[in-house]
Structure 1
Amino acid sequence: MGQHGDHAREVLLDAAEELFATNGIDAVSNRRIAERAGTANHSAVAYHFGGRDELLHALIGRHAADTALRREALVSNLADDAGVHDLLACLILPWVEHLASLPLPSWRARFVNQMRTVPSMHEVLSRSAVANPLIETLVGRIEAELGTISRTALYGRSWILGSMVLGVCAEYEARVQDGTEPANWTGVGYFLIDSCAGMLSAPVTHPGDFISRPAPLYLP
């Protein structure tokens, strides 16, 4: 497509991520994205991406390589007998460190959180999670470490874990932007690791069927 086309795509992705993050996925039209990107071609999204779904897939995968490299580096240093805390660090820190690396203002955490809240986007996120074997391996090792917790309880807690990590990061990103919080993403990362470790390993006081089948855990 050439450098001009690549630049146009990036500008459209920037515009879409900001608008989706601040307004929600379904509230933003392709035309509005094009206008925010500064182009008079209201068909720019269709021209450069083929359609709405392709744009969203491009946004989800936009920074996947950076996060994957960070996760691979952490996993390569894991001990064979690593516990829940260290395994969770490999899940959570790559995402948080990626957010810390973005120029301000950033919209990434809020965009991903918006994707999570839209039912029509669940399949997109689920496919992204299934396509990440390293995350699957880490989740499997965490389940093995928590062998005394029932599978049903772990399904439900994994759902909470994903919602908590993405939700906290989205709110923190907004606070950093408006100046109400200093940018201390490392602190946020370890706070989330500690919180998730405590939640996953907590005793089960009432057996039930809150979630009786696997709930996809999505972490970028």
Structure 2
Amino acid sequence: MGQHGDRVKKALLDAAEELFAREGVDAVSNRHIAERTGSANHSAVTYHFGGRDELIRALIERHTDDTRRRRRELADLLGEDPDLRDLLGCLILPWTDQLASLPRPSWRARLVQQLKAAPSGIELIAMLSDPLVDEVFQRAMGLLSDIPAPVLVGRSWIMGRMVTDVCAEYEARLEQDTIEPNWTGLAYFLIDACAGMLRAPVTTVGDFLSSRSAGTLS
């Protein structure tokens, strides 16, 4: 396709990421994305990506190599007997490191938030998830055997939503405010919050969220 085609694809990805983040996945048409890039070819998304699902897949995969590499580095440092905060850090820090590496304003956290609100987006995220996330997550759950399984399922779902939503809110704040980003500080704030929630006393055991899956990050 050549350099021109690569530039067009990048422009389409940039436009889609911002529009999806701002307006929601289902509210943005392929035509709208093409028009945002200044292209008169309203079928540009189909031409360059093959279809909408392929565009979304490309968006999800866009920064995952660096995230997975960072997670592998952290996992290799865990040792045989890591504590809960170390394991949670292996899940959360690669995600916030990715967000910290992006130029401002960034849209990545809000994009993921919107994708998780769209059924097709949830399915694509699940298909492209990092197997190491599941491995680390299961090790973390193994340290919480005293917590009833339905409670752990529910809390892990809340944890995934919380990390995504808090990062999206922080990203939006960075767009509006002239503050110095501190994604690492936010990561440890989230690690503390997740560890506290997962270990919190149990006063009610109910099957409230067992049909939900944990909101892990690729």
Which residue is equivalent to 1:124?
124
Which residue is equivalent to 1:85?
85
CA contact (8 A) 1:92 1:189 kept: yes
CA contact (8 A) 1:126 1:216 kept: no
Task: Give TM-score, length-normalised by structure 1.
Answer: 0.95
Task: Give TM-score, length-normalised by structure 2.
Answer: 0.96
Once the two structures are superposed, the pairs formed by residues 203-214 of structure 1 within 5 Å of their partners are 203-213=201-211
Which residue is equivalent to 1:31?
31
Once the two structures are superposed, the pairs formed by residues 95-174 of structure 1 within 5 Å of their partners are 95-129=95-129, 132-174=130-172
Offset of 1:163 from its aligned partner?
0.4
Tell me how far apart the structure 2 counterparts of residues 120 and 110 of structure 1 sit (CA, whole Å).
16
Which residue is equivalent to 2:189?
191
CA contact (8 A) 2:159 2:214 kept: no
Which residue is equivalent to 1:202?
200
Structure 2 portions without partners, runs of 5+: none
Tell me how far apart the structure 2 counterparts of residues 104 and 73 of structure 1 sit (CA, whole Å).
26
Identity %: 58
SS at structure 2 position matched to 1:22: helix
CA contact (8 A) 1:85 1:194 kept: yes
Offset of 1:180 from its aligned partner?
5.7
Cα shift readout 1:126-180 (whole Å, capped 9, x = no counterpart):
2223xx2211110110111111111111111111011000000001001001116
RMSD across aligned positions (CA): 1.2
Q: Which range moved further: 135-144 or 207-216?
A: 207-216
1:70 aligned partner, one-letter code = R
Cα shift readout 1:70-105 (whole Å, capped 9, x = no counterpart):
111111111211011000000000000110010111
1:63 partnered with 2:63: yes
Q: Which range moved further: 150-159 or 188-197?
A: 150-159
Tell me how far apart the structure 1 counterparts of residues 187 and 162 of structure 2 sit (CA, whole Å).
12
Instruction: Give the number of aligned pairs.
Output: 218
Tell me how far apart the structure 2 counterparts of residues 19 and 214 of structure 1 sit (CA, whole Å).
27
Moved over 6 A (4+): none
Which residue is equivalent to 2:173?
175
Offset of 1:4 from its aligned partner?
1.3
Offset of 1:181 from its aligned partner?
4.2
Tell me how far apart the structure 1 counterparts of residues 165 and 207 of structure 2 sit (CA, whole Å).
24
Offset of 1:213 from its aligned partner?
4.1
1:143 aligned partner, one-letter code = M
1:54 aligned partner, one-letter code = E
2:45 aligned partner, one-letter code = V
1:183 aligned partner, one-letter code = P
Cα shift readout 1:39-98 (whole Å, capped 9, x = no counterpart):
111110000001111111111111110100111111111121101100000000000011
2:200 aligned partner, one-letter code = A
